[in-house]
Each structure stands twice: as C-alpha cells, then as structure tokens.
Amino acid sequence: MEEKGDAACGEIARCTEHGKKLMYFCRVEKQKVCSKCAIMGSHRGHTVVAVEEALSELKESLSAKLVELQAESSEQTSRLEEIERNTTAAQEQAEILERQVQEDFAALRSFLDSEEKVLMELIAAEKQQTLEELRRLKAECLQRVERLKLLMDPLDAALQTTNLNGLLKSHCRFRNPCETVNDPIVRFEAEKFCGPLQYKVWKKMFQIIQTVPEAYTFDYSTAHPYLEISANRRSVIPLRAPLPVVYMDARFDTALCVLGAEAFSTGKHYWEVTVNKKDKWDLGVAYNCISRHGDIVYRPSDGIWCLTLRDGCHYEACDEPDIQLKVQRKPCRIGIYVDYEGGVVSFFDAEAMQMLHVFRAHFTDPLIPLYSPCRLEDGALGDQRLSIFKLNV
C-alpha cells in the first residue's frame, strides 16, 4: 500500500515506501503515487499524470456519465408517462367500446324483441279470430243438428209403423226444411307467418344497422388506360392493350390504379371488394388530392393507406416500414372499414370477418377508395377482375 492514510486538515498524504507526497496519479493502477514511484518504483513505465489533472479528467468522465444517466432517466420518465397515458387511454377506450358494444347489442336485442312481440301479437290475434269464428260455426252447426233432430224423430217413428193412413198423415205433415247456407269453415292460416322468417327479420334489421357494405363505384376518369371499367362501374379488369381514352389530370398514367367515385370526409364507411383467387392486388384509401402522374408509393405519409397481395400469398400493409402479414386462409373478399373521425382504416377477410390489419391516422383531407388489379401477366389464370360487392336486401 503506497498511500499512507487520508490527508488530515488539508495535508497531502505521503507514500509509505518513499515518504514523499502523493502528487501524481497512475492511470494503469488507478491510484495516487509519488514522484519516485513513477520514475524508478513499481509504477515506472506507467502513464502518470498530476493528481489535479486526473481529478479533472475523472470529474469530466463522471459528468458525462451523469449526463447519460440523466438522459436515460428522462427517457424512462417520459416512457413511464406514456405508459400511464396509455393505461388511462386503454381503460377509457375499453370502457367506451364496452358501452358501444352493449348499446349495439341492446339495440339488436330490442329490435328482435320488438319484432318477436309484434309477430306473436299477430299470431295471437289470428288465432283468436280463427277460434272465435270456429266457435260460432260450431254453435250454428249444433243448432241446426238439433233442429234436424226434431224433424227426424217423428219421421223415424212413422217409419216404424205399417199403417198406411198413418204414413200418409206423417208425409202430409212433413215439410222440407229451407235449404241451409253454410258459411265456409275457416282454418288457421299458419302460412301467413311461415317462410324465411329469419331472413325477413334480417332484412328489416338493416333499418337499425348504421354501417353496412356500401355499393361504391369506380370513377372512369381516374382509371389507367390499361384498366377496363364495367358498365355498372362496379368491376375493373386489367387489359393487355390500352384503351383509347382521353388523358387528363385526374387519370393515372403510370400506376395501374383507379379511384372510387365517392369521396368522404366524415363518418364511418364500410365496403367489400371481391378479389376471387387473384394472385395480386392493391386495395385501400387515399387522399383525394394525391398525384395521378408517375409512380406512386403506398405509404401513409403520402396520404395512402393500402394493403397489397403478391404471389398469391404475400400480404403486406404498406406502412413505414412495410409490415408483412400472416394470413391463415386466402380471402376471396376483402372488407375495408374507415372511421374518419376515429382515424381508423381496417382491412378484413369479409367472409370470416377476421381482422387483417388496422392503420391509425389523423385525417386532414377527403378520403377516397383506391383499387389496383395489378398488371395482367402472361399465363395469368382465372378471373382477374376486382368487383365492388353490393349487398342486395
């Protein structure tokens, strides 16, 4: 040990071996040494600096570490605040969603209960009316049977005799009763209430459902020349040769895309696109103001929220960076849901109503559907069109 205790009352400590003041610091051994230790002692050849310089360097190093720790502490504090915000938001959003789910299902239950009540009342009224009519017909029928019995008994008694004069008298007394006019016998007309009951109720249920598949259409004026739009404007198919179209600012001239004819800047919207078994397609929404000229990049920062399929199995959400999606079954119809105020664009397997991906954003301009059936490649098999699904109710 080369240092003899700590300095007392400001006195500099001395080397236990040489008795000289410890005025230097050995960077190798990380300790204070005297001049003899540094020149000819055990620290010879080591890097040695003055204690003041070492102290300054150590303070500078510690200050740098302190700044790093303070920065990390600040980062963790910010992270903790974000966790707290997200915790609060999760609780609030979950409560809002729970209330919404309860209200939606309560509305459905109320609708079904009301429909059931109305139908049961109609059945009860029909039953009551039918039974009352049948009771009336039964009472009339019994009265007629009694009257006929009163006529039949004397005749039956007369038939038991062999006295001709008695028979003649009975025959003269007998008068044919007036012809009876019988009302038709009613029956309970159950067929009035039969048929596809659940389907009829399901169709009426659309009166209370706020978001149903909308029958959007394509905008001819935006379609790339290699795209053909059907007469009803709900199907688009890629071509091998361009159509003789008029070029205009609204038309895509490079990207094989077409926009929808309906833009929106408020509300909740849902539509479905039939993709069949195509190996590639692009579907999404974009700001109505996106450029139609040159190549376009699907990314939210450029105002496009898009899902793509390539090679029949590679699904990708075009985000920043792109996100590879794991899709268990190949959907034949894609559902797209947009909540403008809520800042949500969701994609679904429309047949299973299974979520594929959701984008979150803050929309600032009108949105419009964007579609691309992609280029028609040699050897492409099957139906290559995209069709906007229309729900017929």
Whether 185 maps to a domain, the answer reads: yes
Tens digits of per-residue pLDDT, 318-358?
Answer: 999 999 999 989 999 999 999 999 999 999 999 888 999 99
In this structure, the answer to whether residues 262 and 334 fall within a common structural domain is yes
Q: In 3D, which of 68, 69, 41, 38 has the Cα closest to residue 54?
A: 38
Are 200 and 226 within one domain?
Answer: no
96-123: pLDDT as tens digits: 889 988 988 898 899 899 889 988 999 9
Give residue 338's pLDDT. Answer: 95
pTM above 0.75, yes or no: no
Task: Verify that 162 and 193 share a domain, yes or no.
Answer: yes
- What is the reported pLDDT for 171? 66
Could you tell me if residue 323 is inside a domain? yes
pLDDT of residue 51: 86
Looking at residue 336, what is its pLDDT? 95
Amino acid at site 234: R
Are 173 and 225 in the same domain? no
Residue 386: beta bridge partners?
Answer: 236
For residue 11, the model assigns a pLDDT of 65
Residues 6+ apart with CB under 8 A from 389: 213, 215, 271, 272, 273, 274, 333, 350
* pLDDT tens column, 205-262: 776 776 778 889 999 999 999 999 999 999 999 999 999 988 888 999 999 999 999 9
Residues 137 and 234 in one domain: no
What's the pLDDT score for residue 341? 94
Asked if 237 and 382 sit in the same domain, the reply is yes
Pick 390 or 384 by higher pLDDT. 384
In a domain, 182, yes or no: yes
Instruction: Give yes or no for residue 4 having a pLDDT over 60.
Output: no
Which has the higher per-residue pLDDT, 125 or 2?
125
Calpha distance 128→374 (Å, rounded) = 64
Tell me, yes or no, whether 377 and 252 share the same domain.
yes
Q: Are 296 and 342 members of one domain? A: yes
